[in-house]
Amino acid sequence: MKHHTGKAAERVFMLIAFSALSALALITIFIFIEGLPIIAKVGVFNFVFGMKWAPSQGFFGIFPMIIGSVSVTLGAAVLGVPVAICCSIFLAEFAPAKLSNLVRPAIQLLAGIPSVVYGFWGLIFIVPFIRRYLGGPGLSILSGSIILAIMILPTIISISEFSILALPRQYKEGALALGVTHWQAIHAVLLPSARSGIVAAVILGIGRAIGETMAVIMVLGNAVAIPESILDPARTLTTNIGIEMGYASGEHQQALFATGIVLLIIIMLLNAFAQFATRRK
């Protein structure tokens, strides 16, 4: 009886797992069916590297949005990754138990805050600050980078801390037994040993940043042009879809689905690289 119950439970869980994969496959197929016709008509090179986005005139170039996505994501990584790694080291190696038990839930709470709240906060505080003290319109790549840097902190901190805590205790104890300081043991032994997990955390954080929409719409300025500095407005792939999908039709709508194809491929490559980095010994 127990054997049959176990087999039935195994089949149920397998069915649930395959249903999730089926949903992903259906979404992917739908996006490709809707987006490929316009890519075939315009051409892959003209679509990806085209400089002009004017659907009403028949121009479907998304290169300025790709540059905008890359710029904001890199800015978020530059601002957020060092802070996240330092925080994960502090929680794993230096923080007292009472303090870490207080800080961890607070960091996890950041992941549960709706993105529109981040965007509203950035619009009220970050944008006016940049406009007043740094110049420009305030709605800029720098504003988006700051917001995204805060939003990716929970992902990178949690995975990096787990990677450090998962290391065998003998690594640290052996290093300390050789006479090195605590910080030297962290720098020379623990961080290199946990490198694959930390790299995976950073890549997943970057994937989270490049896929964000609502918060970036509110603080980025959404100008369809290649930015010349971090104080210039820009538009990302996700914000382009979010802004125009509500009224798009025909080839315009197909072009937005095609933009989703490019975004999907980028995120899939990032996730694949993260999985590869995690499995490295």
Q: For residue 3, what pLDDT band results from cuts at 50, 70 and 90?
A: low
Higher pLDDT pick, 178 / 274: 178
Written as six digits, the tokens of 67 are: 């540059």
Give the whole-angstrom CA distance, residue 239 versus residue 237. Answer: 6
Of the listed ranges 33-37, 124-128, 193-197, the least confidently predicted one is 193-197
User: Is the pLDDT score of 2 beyond 70?
Assistant: no
- Let me know: does 100 contact 91? Beta carbons within 8 Å: yes
- Let me know: does 216 contact 119? Beta carbons within 8 Å: yes
Of the listed ranges 7-11, 42-46, 75-79, the least confidently predicted one is 7-11
> Coil, helix or strand for 120?
helix
Q: Tell me the torsion sign for CA atoms 266, 246, 232, 214.
A: negative
Average pLDDT, the chain: 88
pLDDT at 148: 94
The torsion angle over the Cα atoms of residues 224, 228, 230 and 234, rounded to 10 degrees, is: 0
Q: For residue 271, what pLDDT band results from cuts at 50, 70 and 90?
A: confident
Dump pLDDT digits (tens) for 142-159.
999 999 999 999 999 999
Paired sense of beta strands 53-54 and 59-60, if any:
antiparallel
Of the listed ranges 1-10, 78-87, 213-222, 270-279, the least confidently predicted one is 1-10
User: Is the pLDDT score of 119 beyond 80?
Assistant: yes
Q: Where are the domains of the chain?
A: 2-49, 62-279
CATH no., domain 62-279: 1.10.3720.10
> Coil, helix or strand for 91?
helix
Q: For residue 160, what pLDDT band results from cuts at 50, 70 and 90?
A: very high
Residue 61: count of CB within 10 angstroms of its CB: 19
